[in-house]
């Protein structure tokens, strides 16, 4: 896949599943939390076990509490807001325990692209629904690559709507001195791809880590790759 990077003024990366394989940690944490909840829940609604398909359909890429709400709604389960917060916090605790214990290593292909873009002098940003984004980037040793990090905590502080709304991406582009039309979005989540498309970004790249190329394209990706190394010119790799 050839991208003419000189046509753009900024490149915006999702984090989990794009730069680092922490999406796998999130998936395990969500699964453990939701299945424990469903086992103890005895109210109305569908109590069949939570699966990875639920993750991609209802949780991936969204702010944590939105993911809880959307999954419960998909099962016809009504829960008060304090229960939503409790479940979201339980999942976050599980994620942080794994991160602190095991650390995280970025995808080699993602580092290759980061190196290439740094050589071109392009401003880079991270836009993640996770409040843990700075800690993950620091653990992966790449925090210093980015001129702005718009995490879930930043979004809440500034009152920005989370993905699939485009607000966080638009804010990041502006922070890097770019417009949406002159910025690239790289996303593995359907909600994030929809955010890039809704914001009318210059290029929306879907990174297929499990959502499926057809689903990413349908959500609005201009192109889909399996690895960010595919976006590095062969003579630069």
The kind and range of the H/E element at 58 are: none
Mean pLDDT, the chain, rounded, equals 94
Torsion sign (Cα): 52, 56, 57, 60: positive
Which of 16, 54, 66, 188 is catalytic? The answer is 16
Torsion sign (Cα): 222, 199, 91, 148: positive
Q: In the numeric block, which tokens belong to residue 143?
A: 């925090």
> How large is the average pLDDT for residues 106-117?
97
Is 14 a residue of the active site? yes
**Domain 24-102: CATH architecture, name and number where available:** Orthogonal Bundle (1.10)
Asked if the 5-21+105-231 domain carries CATH number 3.40.50.300, the reply is: no
Question: Could you give the C-alpha distances from 72 to 78, 121, 143, 152, in angstroms and in order?
Answer: 7, 44, 34, 21
Torsion of CA 176, 177, 181, 187, to 10 degrees: 0
Do 120 and 142 meet the contact criterion of CB atoms below 8 Å apart?
no
The kind and range of the H/E element at 183 are: strand 183-187
Which of 14, 54, 60, 230 is catalytic? The answer is 14
Residue with tokens 């609604």: 45
Q: For residue 237, what pLDDT is reported?
A: 53
Q: For residue 95, what pLDDT is reported?
A: 84
Do 205 and 225 meet the contact criterion of CB atoms below 8 Å apart?
yes
> Does 235 or 110 have the greater pLDDT score?
110
Break the chain into its structural domains and give their ranges: 5-21+105-231, 24-102
- Is residue 98 scored above 90 in pLDDT? no
């Amino acid at each position: 896949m050839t991208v003419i990077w000189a046509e753009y003024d900024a490149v915006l990366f999702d984090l989990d599943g794009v730069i680092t394989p922490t999406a796998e940690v999130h998936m395990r944490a969500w699964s453990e939390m939701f299945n424990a909840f469903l086992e103890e829940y005895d109210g109305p609604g569908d109590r069949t076990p939570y699966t990875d398909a639920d993750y991609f359909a209802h949780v991936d890429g969204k702010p944590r509490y939105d993911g809880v709400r959307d999954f419960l709604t998909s099962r016809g389960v009504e829960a008060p807001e304090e229960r939503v917060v409790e479940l979201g916090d339980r999942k976050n605790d599980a994620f942080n325990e794994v991160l602190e214990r095991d650390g995280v290593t970025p995808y080699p292909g993602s580092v290759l692209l980061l190196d290439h873009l740094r050589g071109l002098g392009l401003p880079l940003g991270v836009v993640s629904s996770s409040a843990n984004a700075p800690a993950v980037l620091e653990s992966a040793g790449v925090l210093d690559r980015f001129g702005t990090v718009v995490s879930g905590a930043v979004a809440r502080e500034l009152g920005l709507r989370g993905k699939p709304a485009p607000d966080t991406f638009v804010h990041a582009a502006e922070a890097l001195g770019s417009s949406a039309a002159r910025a690239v979005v790289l996303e593995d989540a359907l909600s994030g791809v929809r955010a890039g498309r809704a914001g009318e970004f210059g290029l929306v790249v879907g990174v297929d880590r499990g959502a499926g190329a057809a689903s990413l394209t349908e959500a609005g990706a201009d192109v889909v790759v399996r690895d960010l190394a595919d976006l590095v010119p062969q003579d630069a790799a």
